[in-house]
Amino acid sequence: MNRTLAAAACAIGLAGIALIGLSQSPADSNLIRNPGFEQRGDPPEGWWADPANASKGSIELGPSPFGQGKLALVLRPTPANTDASKPLGVGQAIGATPYRGKRLYYGGTLRASGEATAVLGVFVMAKSGSMLGGGTLMRTEHSPGSERLEDTVLVPDTDEVAQIIMVCAVNGTSGSASFDNVALSAELPARLKASLADPGAPLHATVEVDAGKIVRTIPRTLYGINTEWVWNGNGIWDERKARLDPDLIRLTRELGVSLIRFPGGTFSDYYHWRDGLGDQDKRPWQSGLPGERKSRHVLGTEEMLAFARRAGGHLMITVNVGTGTAEEAADWVRYVNGRRDRADRVTWWEIGNEVYMNDGSPATAQIAMTPEQYAEKCAAFIRAMRRADASIKIGAISNESYWNTTHRDWDRKVLGKVGRDIDFVAVHNAYAPMVINDGGRGVREVYRATLAAPVHIRKSLAALRGRIGALPPADARRIKIAVTEWGTLYHALPTSRFVDHCKTLGSALYTASVLMAFLECPSVDAANYFKLVDQLFIGAIGVRGDRFAPTASYCALQMFTRRFGARLVKSATASPTFDAPALGYVPATSGAPYVEAVASLSADGRKLTIMAVNKHFDRSADLRIRTRAFRPARGGAVWTLTGSGLDANTGTAPKQVPGIAWAKQAEDEINPRFSRGGPNEVTVTRMPLRNVSSPMTYRLPAHSLVCIEMNAAPTSAGRRP
């Protein structure tokens, strides 16, 4: 067995295909021998198969169902084909050296039946046996669209390249997968050449800003974050040195967050706050959720109050409605807010997390409630907590989201019971795209759906506002919305090809777009990005090497917290739009804008700031800016967040845990940058802005977030407006 080829197959979940030797390049442009499977053999002539997989099914040549020749490859898996890392299949390899630095076309006609998934993959291997790049095309019986699938793959320009491997395989234990007319070629079809050529002229968009019309004073609580008590707060507490980690304090302070949610998501409904008090060495060992490994409870209330204080923020506390009691919650309020000399009292209190959800896991099943059950418990918690401190803000949870289909009457019943007693509703309606099964989709298709999701988030916020507005007027005016968890979430399992994409520039553009939605919904009074730090895959701060480092979304959040002004002013943006298919939890979308913009004034009215995002993957956008009630001075400044590509990232990586293998992550089909992550792949730059006027045009780079700062010109009397 050739170890390099086996390593490639393993890297893509096809470790059982033994490929022996290199095929000879055919005379035509197709580099694959016997691409139409017309030459018989066992396996077909020019292809290789692993004899060890014989029990996993049959490799056959049958009548072509595609009308493209007499025969086609048919893979019929058996119940023994259970290991997706070693499936039934065939493969072929060619030498890679002649194709260094070139983009190759690959494709094939695929069909699947029953429970089978047909998989066509191409992978570039290094001399060391590691994989340098590649891609897969997949089809199930229910996949929409043409059976002819195609894509491109870039062969890195390095001395390390050794071989290019094409594989045809089947996942599943029944049904069949058929393949015909597979191709691998250095000659790209004209339509693909066009898509890879000059991306074209810039888009044209406009923004009209009326600085004389203040929409609202922007609450700093929109710039909140989530933390968790488990596993030392994912690094907030340095157990080796028995202290709060100074690098995380610094990074959090520089991020500029305000409202720090604690003790964290579902963990909140198993959290008993008294276990986190006193001498740390004497605190109990606990698991965050049923069945999870235990850890010492070193990050409790006092440690988190100290962290928030030193990081320049304040806590938002989620009390335990799942396994706790109303008196336990009230005692927590008394403990934190009872001392008059305490400067870090907690104002925001949320009753429970997502107890409307039951995904079948022990953690959710144990605490899941009906709306009637939650409303009763919530009312009891409110009474007890108000007795402890009548001045706090209390929030009940809503299950509103653009994807939710359970407990459709939740809000009506909960608000009907406690609407007169709460100050806000807590909602988690701004996650995307949650691709449970990516179906072999490319990065661009997944990101297109992700960047379209804010269209649905805006509608979801409006729907929730409508339910609140149906309450008696005094209650409707008082109750605000707090989006206490939000952010990109592609998948939660290390086996996903997208699980680690929360850290990319594309995800940062989503972060900016969602913040704009929150800013423009006056009812949204607080929002907490999920989450501050994670040594796995979802933090605004990750780990690069052995140090904490910001991700691209950290940079996007920081652009708002540090650069956007104190008052939102009226603005209207017109932009070209794009459509996106239904993918993951995101519905099909029509008319999503490529360019979005919001505008603000500083508290003194001397600085106008325009925050604009260009979501186009490849094309810049000329933004025509016109201002009213604000005459700009000639000079200003521009801050730009961008990177080397859509999937560029700062080089943070999930922690390597024994027994857990992280999947090879999908990369942009046109400009793959994911695997090249590093400090210079995502950048924030400042440039002077000259010859400012109204109107004026500024060019937004492709895949960028741009902050344009204009200073007010002096009036004739020498004063600024």
So where are the chain's domains?
A: 3-193
Q: What is the CA radius of gyration of the chain?
A: 28
Least confident segment among 149-163, 276-290, 374-388: 149-163
Residue 265 to residue 225: CA distance in whole angstroms: 12
Helix (DSSP H) and strand (DSSP E) numbers for the chain? 13, 35
| pLDDT for position 21 | 39
Least confident segment among 21-30, 142-151, 480-489, 673-682: 21-30
Assess contact for 119 and 103: CB atoms under 8 A: no
CB atoms within 10 A of CB 82: 13
pLDDT tens for residues 333-343?
Answer: 999 999 766 67
Give 170's strand partners: 88, 118
Give 636's strand partners: 689, 710
- Assign 492 to helix, strand or coil: coil
Residue 643 pLDDT grade (very low, low, confident, very high; cuts 50, 70, 90): very high
The predicted model gives 174-189 an average pLDDT of: 93
14 Cβ contact list (under 8 Å, min separation 6): 85, 86, 87, 89, 91, 119, 121, 167, 169
Looking at the whole model, is its pTM more than 0.85? no
CB atoms within 10 A of CB 55: 10
- Tabulate helix, strand, coil % of the chain (nearest 5): 25, 35, 40
Highest mean pLDDT pick, 183-197, 341-355, 478-492: 478-492
| pLDDT for position 13 | 42
- DSSP secondary structure, 501-564, as one string: GGGSHHHHHHHHHHHHHHHT-TTEEEEEES-SB-SSS--SEEEETTEEEE-HHHHHHHHHHHHS
The predicted model gives 558-564 an average pLDDT of: 98
Residue 430 to residue 409: CA distance in whole angstroms: 20
| pLDDT for position 192 | 67
Angle at 493 between CA 489 and CA 495, to 5 degrees: 120
Buried b (16+ CB within 10 A) or exposed e, 318-341: bbbbbebbbebbbbbbebbbeeee
Give 351's strand partners: 319
Q: If we measure between CA atoms, which residue out of 635, 612, 570, 602 comes closest to residue 206?
A: 612
**pLDDT at position 285 over 50:** yes
Q: Which amino acid is at 186?
A: A
CB atoms within 10 A of CB 473: 8
**pLDDT at position 15 over 80:** no
The predicted model gives 161-169 an average pLDDT of: 93
**Residue with tokens 């204009």, as numbered in its chain:** 710
Buried b (16+ CB within 10 A) or exposed e, 697-720: ebebbbbbbbbbbbbbeeeeeeee
Least confident segment among 138-147, 262-271, 578-587: 138-147
Assess contact for 3 and 129: CB atoms under 8 A: yes
Residue 519 to residue 540: CA distance in whole angstroms: 20
Q: If we measure between CA atoms, which residue out of 188, 192, 135 comes closest to residue 166?
A: 135
In order of 24, 167, 244, 582, 592, the CA distances from 142 in angstroms are: 36, 22, 51, 14, 27
pLDDT tens for residues 301-311?
Answer: 999 999 999 99
- Assign 657 to helix, strand or coil: coil
DSSP state of 128: T
Residue 613 vs residue 293, higher pLDDT: 613
- DSSP secondary structure, 315-345, as one string: EEEEE--SS--HHHHHHHHHHHH--TT-SS-
**pLDDT at position 580 over 50:** yes
- DSSP secondary structure, 430-471, as one string: EEEE--S--TT--HHHHHHHHHHHHHHHHHHHHHHHHHHHTS
**pLDDT at position 2 over 70:** no
Q: The tokens of 676 are what? A: 């090249």
Residue 551 to residue 538: CA distance in whole angstroms: 10
The predicted model gives 207-223 an average pLDDT of: 98
CB atoms within 10 A of CB 692: 21
**Residue with tokens 């803000």, as numbered in its chain:** 393
Q: If we measure between CA atoms, which residue out of 554, 685, 486, 544 comes closest to residue 251?
A: 554
The predicted model gives 401-417 an average pLDDT of: 93
pLDDT tens for residues 190-212?
Answer: 766 655 666 778 999 999 999 99
Residue 655 vs residue 443, higher pLDDT: 443
**CATH, range 3-193:** 2.60.120.260
- Assign 660 to helix, strand or coil: coil
Q: If we measure between CA atoms, which residue out of 188, 189, 109, 183 comes closest to residue 146?
A: 109
Assess contact for 646 and 505: CB atoms under 8 A: yes
| pLDDT for position 188 | 84
DSSP state of 236: T
User: What is the percent of the chain where pLDDT is above 90?
Assistant: 78
Q: If we measure between CA atoms, which residue out of 626, 642, 305 comes closest to residue 504?
A: 642
Residue 29 pLDDT grade (very low, low, confident, very high; cuts 50, 70, 90): confident
Q: The tokens of 244 are what? A: 């709060």
pLDDT tens for residues 39-94?
Answer: 999 999 999 999 999 999 999 999 999 987 899 999 999 999 988 668 899 999 99
pLDDT tens for residues 509-549?
Answer: 999 999 999 999 999 999 999 999 999 999 999 999 989 99
37 Rama class: left (phi>0) / alpha (psi -120 to 50) / beta: left
* Beta strands 203-217 and 621-628, pairing class: parallel
Residue 135 vs residue 422, higher pLDDT: 422
Least confident segment among 23-27, 139-143, 550-554, 562-566: 23-27
| pLDDT for position 193 | 67
- H or E element, residue 481: strand 480-489
Residue 618 to residue 275: CA distance in whole angstroms: 52
Residue 559 to residue 706: CA distance in whole angstroms: 9
CB atoms within 10 A of CB 89: 33
| pLDDT for position 197 | 60
* Beta strands 393-397 and 424-427, pairing class: parallel
**pLDDT at position 8 over 70:** no
Assess contact for 598 and 211: CB atoms under 8 A: no
Handedness of CA 492, 496, 501, 507 (dihedral sign): negative
Say how many Å lie between the first and final Cα of the chain, rounded.
77
| pLDDT for position 606 | 97
Residue 342 to residue 677: CA distance in whole angstroms: 44
Least confident segment among 142-146, 391-395, 640-644: 142-146
Residue 7 pLDDT grade (very low, low, confident, very high; cuts 50, 70, 90): very low
Assess contact for 558 and 511: CB atoms under 8 A: no
Assess contact for 668 and 645: CB atoms under 8 A: yes
The predicted model gives 247-276 an average pLDDT of: 97
Residue 124 pLDDT grade (very low, low, confident, very high; cuts 50, 70, 90): confident
Handedness of CA 396, 400, 404, 409 (dihedral sign): positive
| pLDDT for position 250 | 98
Residue 190 vs residue 575, higher pLDDT: 575
| pLDDT for position 703 | 96
**pLDDT at position 488 over 70:** yes
Q: The tokens of 384 are what? A: 């007890």
User: What is the percent of the chain where pLDDT is above 70?
Assistant: 93
| pLDDT for position 656 | 86
Q: If we measure between CA atoms, which residue out of 531, 222, 267, 589 comes closest to residue 403?
A: 589
Residue 406 pLDDT grade (very low, low, confident, very high; cuts 50, 70, 90): confident
The predicted model gives 395-404 an average pLDDT of: 94
Cα 468 from chain centroid? 29
